Amino acid sequence: MKSIRGKMLLLILVPSIVIGVMITFLLYFQISSSTTATTEEMLLNVVDGHAGFIGEWIHGIIKEAKTFAEGKEIIEALKTGEWKDSMEDLKQKLVKRPEYEMGFIAYPDGTSPTTLGIAANISDRDYFQKVVKQGAEYAVSDGLISKATGRGIFVVAVPVKDETGKVIGVFGLTVTFDTISKILEDIHVGESAFPWVVDSTGVVIGSPIKEWIMKFNITQASKEGYKGLEEMAREALAGKEGFAKVINPDGSVNYNYYVPVPYTNGWVLGVAISEKEVLATANAALRNVVIGLAVLMAVIVGVVFFVSTSISKAIRGLVKRVDEFGKGDLTVKFEAKGKDEVARMAQALQQMANNLREVFKSINDASGQVDSSAGNLAATAEELSATSEELASQMEEVDRETQSVSASVQEVTSGIEEVTASAQNVAKAAQELTRES
């Protein structure tokens, strides 16, 4: 990354990608959390509403059963033991009610004639014990296999009382699981969602998955490879409402929302929806963010590429001119458009070039003056040299004359010395003559 373009891409694009990824994950986390919370609240409201609907439906059956139980025909049948006419009459009344498999009465000993003309003993049934032995005003059973027909049903039972208020038997209506499943079909909360109903033992009594009905128990779900469903079952069967994440045997994840069903002895209505669908909004938002980030990165790359190219192009031009200028071409002009740093740098280089040209011009002018002065100095030196030679010649002549004069002086001196000697000799001779005389 030696080029400006590469450095700009590295310094701008990499941090942008890192920041973008961080923002993406933060947004995804916030969106997924918000989506999950919103979905949980929505589904709990939906499930609670449908649980209330099922509860009211069962409550309607309870009230209808009480109405039948208070009828004269049922009371007389339990008092007299003559039930055939009353059951036939009841059968005609229920013929237009497909949700009911049958109606029945039960004597205190558990003997139970039905509208199907079949009699059975139900003394061991929990709902019979609650009504007859425990005095319950009504009882809604868990899922059962009908002793009369062998079909999957649940029973709504109410006490039958005489004029004194004494319980003289039980009246009940059996309701097929198909009715529950049909009600569940009206619960639409998503493409992958499916509702379910379990009784107080955890056995499925209503579900779009027919194979589960009366065969799948959520309290033993780990045996079928489900993870987290048994933990949810403990909370749900304790009468709580809530949400649980369940891992299916194939590894997929479902979010389960559950609430208790009113007017039942521990029934639970739940809705399972795939995690993918719950997080679909968050995933769609993530895709949009990723696409937006990719577009943004592409724009950033384009902008950085364009800007770095324009900058590097201008700088390369300046570098080329600087090289030419450095090789001695002082005619180079540094030009750049705009008012940015590159333009100011070009202006500074141009000012430097102008200053250098002025300096070189001054140096050239000074060099000319030096050359002229040097010529004058050379001429003067030549004149001085000629003068020096003439003076030397004259000095030699003077020296010769001086030597000649010196010789003459010596000769004169010698003559004087000789005259002096002669004078001394004369003086001496005179003295001698004097003495002699």
pLDDT for 39-60, tens place per residue?
A: 677 778 888 999 999 999 999 9
Supply the mean pLDDT for the chain. 82
- Paired strand residues for 270: 196, 258
Most confident by average pLDDT, 38-52, 147-161, 215-229, 379-393: 215-229
Q: Is 386 exposed, middle or buried (0-12, 13-18, 19+ CB in 10 A)?
A: exposed
From the CB of residue 214, how many other CB atoms can be counted at a distance below 10 Å? 17
- Choice between 283 and 219, residue whose per-residue pLDDT is larger: 219
Residues 6+ apart with CB under 8 A from 140: 58, 62, 127, 154, 155, 156, 263, 264, 265, 267
pLDDT at 264 over 90: yes
- Integer distance in angstroms from the first to the last C-alpha of the chain? 140
Spatial separation of the C-alpha atoms in residues 435 and 379, rounded to whole Å: 81
Using CA atoms, how far residue 65 sits from 61, 173, 339, in Å, is 6, 7, 94
**In whole angstroms, what is the distance from residue 150 CA to residue 135 CA?**
28
Asked if the model's pLDDT at residue 342 lies above 70, the reply is no
pLDDT at 278 over 80: no
Report whether pLDDT(403) > 80: no
Q: According to the model, what pLDDT value does residue 419 have?
A: 63
Q: pLDDT tier at 331 (50, 70, 90 boundaries)?
A: confident
Q: Give pLDDT, residue 286.
A: 66
**Beta sheet of 242-247, edge-to-edge order:** 204-206, 194-198, 268-274, 253-260, 242-247
Examine the pLDDT at 397 and tell me if it is beyond 90: no
What pLDDT does 409 receive?
55
The mean pLDDT value for 283-307 works out to 75
Q: Phi and psi for 346 in degrees, rounded to 5? A: -65, -40
The predicted pLDDT at position 65 comes to 96
* 224: pLDDT strictly greater than 70: yes
Res. 115: pLDDT tops 90 = yes
Tokens for 182? 């049909």
Q: Is 40 helix (H, G, I), strand (E, B) or coil?
A: helix
The answer to whether 245 and 255 have CB atoms below 8 angstroms apart is yes
Q: How far apart are alpha carbons 342 and 347 in whole angstroms? A: 9
* Collapsed DSSP state (helix, strand, coil) of residue 283: helix
Interval 361-384 mean pLDDT: 73
pLDDT at 32: 65
- Is residue 405 predicted with pLDDT exceeding 60? no
Q: Give the residue from 109, 50, 18 showing the smallest Cα distance to 258.
A: 50
Residue 295 has pLDDT above 90, yes or no: no
Higher pLDDT, 394 or 93: 93
* Residue 99 and residue 179 in contact, taking contact as beta carbons nearer than 8 Å: yes
